[in-house]
């Protein structure tokens, strides 16, 4: 068995060599060197390669899930889209799901509250799902629901929310159905780093009708925040429905986001305040929640972390707190489980917005791994996430992203120097792109969403531990890594196990080493 570290450069794609690409502009001497001298290829991290619809950008959730699963899984978005496309289908249509029927029945007795992100981004939510739910509720004779809107600006253009607001308003006016309570930016409403003061903005608007601002309608709310130079993501709570003073007892609440990690804080606060209200969620947000779920979790066995554990190998998961769910829950197959001999060591993310602190805690990530190894010298596998290129680039500040990328390169060198000295093979990859495409070439508009670009995959093994090396300085051809353009993240796990000389489960997609 060989020791191996899987280093995930979050948001680090292979984009065009031009001024839209912060990674190209940044000085990255270490990455450039190992890309040139060691076995490498590129992998797809979006669309069909990770179980998403064709043309759909990938994300940290699906990226880590696919890497850890070792196979392509049809993602929640695909299953949900199909369910709404054919709502009456006996097998998978939304109208025939028992918990959705229960929600419709509850909404005929008391007006429901619908909460989620208004966005076509497809990372946390898709507004088409909300639109279809409203149509079905209207058709079924439900009481007019209250809508609590979270604005995006991260998985979409920073000030595109006004367009999506108009689409929702047009539908509501057409149906004469639905009351918009207010809007809050995802920076506040979807915090996942235990900044409860941010969550309180959305919580107080929902439960008490309190907000930082008032507006006549949803479109005006966006315009008012734009006047104050607040992008969609950073919109403060803005109330629209005058006279609204909070959710009433026994009124049902539907959370339409299908991704779980950024909904946990608001659902936790609401659950503690509204014990008699029935909550419904699109997917299972947490195994400890006993709320009815429309789309049950797919069962998955033999994830990479599980296989490592079954082989008696001690493994370490390390990331900043913003990426804890990705290296644990998602990497482990979308389940809340800690396998035997699985260690966790996380670093508290900075509290200021990341564009103002682009170095983040990357240096401390390396320090943490060094400390953990000193205390666990029998460590045989590690998953390490550097999140700068992703989280900083979501703010759309190009200079900050350049600093973020340069920081990652410096700390990646420190990490690899330490690990290879301790006898590890380093496999360096990413979960999706972001910093590699920060400006829309056609419009010149700042992009804050993930990119569709492929991501890097490098085997860095200067000690020549692996038996696949042919000579000291290697390129992609000399190690015979598969170079097919359609190769995706699902091929990482089998490659890792082959390098470690561990038996590869039959359900895995083929590895990259020929």
Measured CA to CA, the distance from residue 178 to residue 146 in angstroms comes to 6
| Binding-site entries for substrate | 124, 154-155, 186, 192, 259-262, 323
Residues 20 and 83 in one domain: no
Q: Residue 65 in contact with residue 77, Cβ under 8 Å?
A: no
User: In the structure, what pLDDT confidence band is assigned to residue 475 with cuts at 50, 70 and 90?
Assistant: very low
pLDDT of residue 298: 82
Residues 227 and 349 in one domain: no
Count of domains in the chain? 2
162: domain range? Answer: 76-295
Please state the rounded mean pLDDT for residues 137-148.
99
| Rg of the chain in Å (alpha carbons) | 23
Measured CA to CA, the distance from residue 20 to residue 441 in angstroms comes to 7
Measured CA to CA, the distance from residue 458 to residue 192 in angstroms comes to 31
| Binding-site entries for Mn(2+) | 10, 60, 390, 394, 431-432, 450
CATH number of the domain where residue 287 is located: 3.40.1450.10
End-to-end Cα separation, the chain, in angstroms = 20
pLDDT of residue 484: 82
What is the CA 120 to chain-centroid distance, rounded?
Answer: 15
Closest listed residue to residue 137, CA positions, set 94, 116, 107, 169? 107
Cβ-count burial 197-216 (b if 16+ within 10 Å, e if not): ebbbbbbbbbbebbbbbebe
User: In the structure, what pLDDT confidence band is assigned to residue 470 with cuts at 50, 70 and 90?
Assistant: very low
- Longest alpha-carbon distance in the chain: 74
Residues 68 and 32 in one domain: yes
Is residue 424 in some structural domain? yes
Is residue 121 in some structural domain? yes
Catalytic residue, chosen from 60, 119, 237, 277, is: 60
Is residue 8 in some structural domain? yes
pLDDT at residue 471 is higher than 70: no
Please state the rounded mean pLDDT for residues 454-477.
71
Residues 69 and 80 in one domain: no
pLDDT of residue 468: 60
CATH number of the domain where residue 377 is located: 3.40.720.10
Is residue 511 in some structural domain? no
Residues 67 and 159 in one domain: no
Please write the tens of the pLDDT for every residue from 25-57. Answer: 999 999 999 999 999 999 999 999 999 989 999
Residues 260 and 342 in one domain: no
Q: Range with the lowest mean pLDDT among 63-72, 125-134, 320-329, 467-476? A: 467-476
Measured CA to CA, the distance from residue 139 to residue 142 in angstroms comes to 8
pLDDT of residue 20: 97
Is residue 509 in some structural domain? no
Residues 348 and 368 in one domain: yes
Of 242, 262, 295, the last residue of a domain is 295
Please write the tens of the pLDDT for every residue from 383-420. Answer: 999 999 999 999 999 999 999 999 999 999 999 999 99
379 phi, psi to nearest 5 deg? -60, 130
Within 209-346, residue ranges assigned H as helices are 218-227, 264-273, 304-310, 324-325
Q: Residue 97 in contact with residue 83, Cβ under 8 Å?
A: yes
Torsion angle, alpha carbons of 388, 390, 395, 399, to 10: 60
Q: The tokens of 442 are what?
A: 């056609």
| Binding-site entries | 10, 60, 124, 154-155, 186, 192, 259-262, 323, 390, 394, 431-432, 450
Q: The tokens of 251 are what?
A: 């009124």
pLDDT of residue 448: 94
User: In the structure, what pLDDT confidence band is assigned to residue 473 with cuts at 50, 70 and 90?
Assistant: very low
pLDDT at residue 254 is higher than 50: yes
Residues 103 and 65 in one domain: no
Residues 39 and 105 in one domain: no
Within 230-303, residue ranges assigned H as helices are 264-273
Q: Residue 266 in contact with residue 191, Cβ under 8 Å?
A: no
Q: Up-side HSE of residue 365: CA atoms within 13 Å toward CB?
A: 33
Quickly count helices (H) and strands (E) in the chain. Answer: 18, 15
Of 263, 295, 327, the last residue of a domain is 295
pLDDT of residue 4: 98
Is residue 35 in some structural domain? yes
Is residue 508 in some structural domain? no
Residues 333 and 394 in one domain: yes
User: In the structure, what pLDDT confidence band is assigned to residue 479 with cuts at 50, 70 and 90?
Assistant: low
| Reported pTM | 0.75
Please write the tens of the pLDDT for every residue from 178-200. Answer: 999 999 999 999 999 999 999 99
pLDDT of residue 482: 76
Is residue 173 in some structural domain? yes
Please write the tens of the pLDDT for every residue from 192-237. Answer: 999 999 999 999 999 999 999 999 999 999 999 999 999 999 999 9
Measured CA to CA, the distance from residue 130 to residue 196 in angstroms comes to 26
Residues 64 and 80 in one domain: no
Mean confidence (pLDDT) of the chain: 95
pLDDT of residue 480: 63
Of 295, 329, 362, the last residue of a domain is 295
pLDDT at residue 21 is higher than 70: yes
Closest listed residue to residue 181, CA positions, set 277, 253, 100, 274? 253
Please write the tens of the pLDDT for every residue from 409-450. Answer: 999 999 999 999 999 999 999 999 999 999 999 999 999 999
Residues 98 and 54 in one domain: no
pLDDT of residue 330: 95
Active-site residue, 60 included? yes
What is the enclosing helix (H) or strand (E) of 386? strand 379-386
């Amino acid at each position: 068995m060989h020791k191996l570290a899987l280093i995930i450069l979050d948001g680090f794609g292979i984009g065009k060599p031009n001024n839209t690409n912060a990674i190209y502009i940044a000085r990255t001497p270490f990455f450039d060197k190992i890309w040139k001298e060691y076995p490498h290829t590129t992998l797809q991290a979006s669309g069909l390669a990770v179980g998403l619809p064709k043309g759909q950008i990938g994300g940290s959730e699906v990226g880590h899930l696919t890497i850890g699963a070792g196979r392509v899984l049809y993602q929640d978005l695909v299953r949900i889209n199909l369910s709404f496309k054919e709502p009456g289908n006996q097998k998978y249509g939304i109208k025939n799901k028992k918990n959705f029927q229960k929600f419709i029945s509850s909404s005929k007795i008391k007006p429901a509250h619908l909460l989620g992100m208004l966005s076509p981004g497809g990372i946390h939510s898709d507004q088409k799902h909300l639109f279809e739910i409203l149509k079905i509720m209207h058709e079924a004779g439900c009481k007019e629901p209250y809508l609590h809107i979270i604005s995006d600006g991260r998985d979409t253009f920073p000030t595109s929310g006004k367009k999506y607001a108009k689409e929702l308003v047009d539908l509501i006016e057409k149906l004469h159905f639905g009351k918009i309570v207010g809007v809050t930016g995802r920076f506040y409403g979807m915090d996942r780093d235990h900044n409860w003061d941010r969550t309180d903005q959305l919580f107080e608007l929902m439960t008490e009708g309190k907000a930082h601002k008032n507006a006549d309608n949803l479109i005006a709310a966006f315009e008012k925040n734009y006047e104050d130079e607040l992008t969609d993501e950073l919109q403060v709570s803005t109330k629209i429905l005058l006279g609204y003073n909070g959710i009433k007892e026994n009124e049902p609440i539907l959370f339409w986001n299908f991704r779980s990690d950024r909904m946990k804080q608001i659902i936790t606060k609401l659950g503690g305040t509204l014990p008699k209200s029935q909550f419904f969620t699109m997917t299972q947000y947490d195994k400890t929640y006993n709320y009815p779920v429309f789309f049950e979790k797919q069962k998955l066995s033999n994830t990479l972390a599980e296989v490592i554990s079954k082989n008696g190998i001690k493994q370490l998961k390390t990331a900043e707190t913003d990426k804890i769910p990705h290296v644990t829950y998602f990497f482990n197959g979308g389940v809340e489980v800690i396998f035997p001999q699985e260690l966790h060591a996380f670093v508290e993310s900075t509290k200021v917005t990341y564009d103002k602190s682009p170095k983040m805690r990357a240096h401390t990530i390396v320090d943490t791994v060094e400390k953990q190894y000193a205390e666990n010298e029998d460590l045989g596998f590690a998953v390490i996430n550097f999140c700068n290129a992703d989280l900083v680039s979501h703010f759309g500040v190009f200079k900050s992203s350049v600093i973020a990328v340069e920081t990652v390169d410096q700390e990646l060198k420190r990490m690899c120097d330490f690990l290879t000295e301790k006898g590890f093979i380093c496999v360096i990859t990413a979960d999706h792109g972001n910093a590699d495409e920060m400006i829309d070439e056609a419009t010149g508009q700042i992009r804050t969403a993930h990119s569709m670009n492929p991501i890097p995959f490098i085997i860095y093994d200067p000690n020549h531990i692996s038996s696949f090396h042919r000579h000291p300085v290697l390129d992609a051809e000399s190690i015979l890594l598969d170079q097919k353009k359609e190769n995706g993240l699902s091929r990482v796990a089998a490659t890792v196990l082959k390098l470690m000389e561990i038996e590869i489960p039959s359900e895995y997609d083929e590895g990259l080493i020929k």
